[in-house]
Amino acid sequence: MSDRSAGLRLETISRSFSQGKDTLHVLNGAELSIEPGEIVALVGPSGAGKSTLLHIAGLLERPDQGEVWLGGEACGKLSEDRRTTLRRSHLGFVYQYHHLLPEFSALENVVLPQMIAGTSRKAAAERALELLERMGLAPRAEHRPGQLSGGEQQRVAICRALANAPKVLLADEPTGNLDPHTAEGVFRELISLVRSSGVAALIATHNPELAARMDRMVRLQDGVLLPV
C-alpha cells in the first residue's frame, strides 16, 4: 500500500472526539489505498466511524494525524481554498438522502456543479444528459425531484456526483433509503457507471449482498481498516 499515486490513499488516519471529560478514539491509524477503477465496500457496525472516515477522505474534515492523498497529492497541509477546489474537481459524493435542489430539474441538478467548476452551460448540459441517459433517466430530465421516485432521485444524485469526472467517488449508504428491489437496480447502475468512468470508489453499506459484489471489502473495527 505504498503507492501514493493511487486514486485515493489514506495513511495512518487518526481522529478523536472529546465527550465531556472522556476522549472517543474513532480512527486509530486507519490505512487504505484504492486504485482507479476499483470499487471498495466499507462495512462495519453503526457508530464505528464510517461516516467520519468518508468525511476525512472527502476533505470535509481534517484528521488529527495521518495523510490523505488524492491522485498523488498530499492534502493535509493544503489551504481550505485548495481543498475546496479538489473537492469540486477530484471528488464525487453520494449520500443516503439525495440532497437534490428541489426547485431545479434533474438535468439542472447535474448541470449546476459543472458550471460551478467552470464548465460552459452547453457542455455541462451535454454531459448531464449523457449521464442521465446512461441511468435511464433521459425521459425524466426536465422533472423536478419532487416529481421523481426515490430510486430516480438517487440515480440523479449519482449522475451529479460523477458530473465533473472525479477521480474518487465516496458514497455513504447510497441505497439505504430504498426498498430492496429499487436498491438493487440503483446499485447495479451505480456500479456500471463507476466501472465505465474509471473512478476509485469507496462505498459504505450495511447490505452484505451489495458489499459482496464490489471488488473487495474492508471492515472498520476498533478504528482500523481490516480486509474482509
Apex 175 CA angle, 71 and 125, nearest 5? 60
CA–CA dist 57, 59 (Å, integer): 6
The pairing of strands 216-221 and 8-19 is unpaired
Question: Given this model, what pLDDT does residue 201 score?
Answer: 95
Interhelix angle 121-134/106-116, nearest 10 degrees: 130
What confidence tens digit (pLDDT) does each residue in 65-112 have?
999 999 888 998 899 999 998 888 899 999 878 889 999 999 999 999
**What pTM was estimated for this model as a whole?**
0.90
Contact by Cβ (8 Å): 159, 137? yes
What confidence tens digit (pLDDT) does each residue in 132-157 have?
998 889 999 999 999 999 999 999 99
Q: Among residues 45, 12, 17, 7, which one has the least CA distance to residue 219?
A: 45
Contact by Cβ (8 Å): 6, 33? yes
- Residue boundaries of the structural domains of the chain: 34-62+78-227
* Element (DSSP H or E) covering residue 22: strand 22-34
* pLDDT confidence tier of residue 6, bands split at 50, 70 and 90: low
Question: Given this model, what pLDDT does residue 30 score?
Answer: 95
* Element (DSSP H or E) covering residue 5: none
* pLDDT confidence tier of residue 179, bands split at 50, 70 and 90: confident
Question: Given this model, what pLDDT does residue 1 score?
Answer: 40
Residue 9 clears pLDDT 80, i.e. is over it: yes
* pLDDT confidence tier of residue 5, bands split at 50, 70 and 90: low
Higher pLDDT pick, 108 / 181: 108
Q: Where are the alpha helices (DSSP H) in 31-70?
A: 50-57
Sheet arrangement for strand 224-227: 91-94, 168-172, 200-204, 39-43, 216-221, 224-227
Question: Given this model, what pLDDT does residue 58 score?
Answer: 94
Homologous superfamily of domain range 34-62+78-227: P-loop containing nucleotide triphosphate hydrolases (3.40.50.300)
